[in-house]
A and B are shown apart, each in its own frame.
Chain A
């Protein structure tokens, strides 16, 4: 687009052209610094974007209010970055990281979250104008949540840059949506805080050994796995052939334990105690006459569940169901179930009296 710029603005534009490669280089370098710092701090963000203002956009800005700027250095968003977080409290964490990494021009930085009146809803974002060593220009870092970002984009598309004054009704709709998204942001944060609290309680229960008070769910089971409850059995099984143990996720066994009607971690713990001998006997029978010297860490829980099912009279149907849960339904699991039933029938654990796990 052809812009009508005076000599002063043309001079600023030329300065921009001369420094464009440096702007591009710095934008990427700042993005990298931010990424590395946030990763190191364990702050998970949805995205970190960087951009250099296009010549056309800068020319438009200069055409509109060129007299305001003495030089290119007065324009603070030639290099711009945007950090999008999942949670609203992470915006402040990112801001804190930015504050440590760069010098902030507080006079020109804006916390738009604080600008809105208590009875209005709209654009919430934190904008820091920064400088860094080795780069003579200021740059802008915007920080906001993913929902604020969504709203800002929608508002941008339908709002002020469309060149058409939008009716009050639509402005009110957008404002209403901003209020709704603000509420959702707060709810997400509240849920995260409560989940973290629940996790801590569960970890305390597991650590104190009060496993019967911990209901069996994904959170509690994860904490339980941190105690490596199957390690001893796996080591014993590996010892049969001096096998190496390949660690794999044992989370899929949560559904199997639930199928076996374990309601608490205490139930799982008792199942392990009750069936470890049987699981080992089964593994010994299978492995002893082979030269297999590699197993995965799921062998322990797999054999525990098989021993438990067989001791409870679940037979091949129960074993097939277990494999179906773990690997998806397959007719081949019936063959495996029959094979296991045949192997186990004369093993000592099959003749032991069950003590009732739950």
Chain B
């Protein structure tokens, strides 16, 4: 799994490529640390190239959401595939995020 982070003005975009499963989650946690340091703006989690998400991945998203909420920021989850959308729905995560 690879994570590409870009910041433009007040919008930070994290693009996830590959499977966000349990083995990958430790590395991904480190990759998203810069986002957690300044979560006050808009954070876009671009999932266009994400193939799969596990519970560990959901926890990472949740951590980002909590950090953003505490600083008045917002999180947008973008372009999730149908399988991941179903995971969000089954776990009750669907209405935790703005999903585009």
Contacts and interface: CB of A to CB of B under 8 A. Distances in A.
Interface of A: 243, 246, 248, 252, 283, 286-287, 290-299, 302, 323, 326-327, 330, 332, 335-336, 339-340
B55 interface: yes
A339 B94 CA distance: 15
A286 B82 CA distance: 15
Contacts of B58: 292, 294
B92 A336 contact: no
A294 B63 CA distance: 13
Interface in B41-100: 54-55, 58-59, 62, 82, 85-87, 89-96, 99
A296 B93 contact: yes
Nearest to B56: A294
A323 B82 contact: no
B86 A339 contact: yes
Contacts of A291: 54-55
Interface of B: 54-55, 58-59, 62, 82, 85-87, 89-96, 99
Given A292-B55, A294-B59, A248 B92 contact: yes
Of the listed residues B59, B87, B95, the one surrounded by the most CB atoms of chain A closer than 10 A to its CB is B95
21 contacts: A246-B62, A246-B92, A287-B90, A290-B90, A291-B54, A291-B55, A292-B54, A292-B55, A293-B55, A294-B58, A295-B91, A298-B92, A298-B95, A298-B96, A326-B95, A327-B94, A327-B95, A332-B85, A335-B85, A336-B89, A339-B86
Contacts of B55: 243, 291-294
Given A246-B62, A291-B55, A296 B91 contact: yes
B62 A335 contact: no
A49 B91 CA distance: 46
A327 B85 CA distance: 13
B4 to A, nearest CB: 24
Nearest to A335: B82
A323 B94 contact: yes
A327 B99 contact: yes
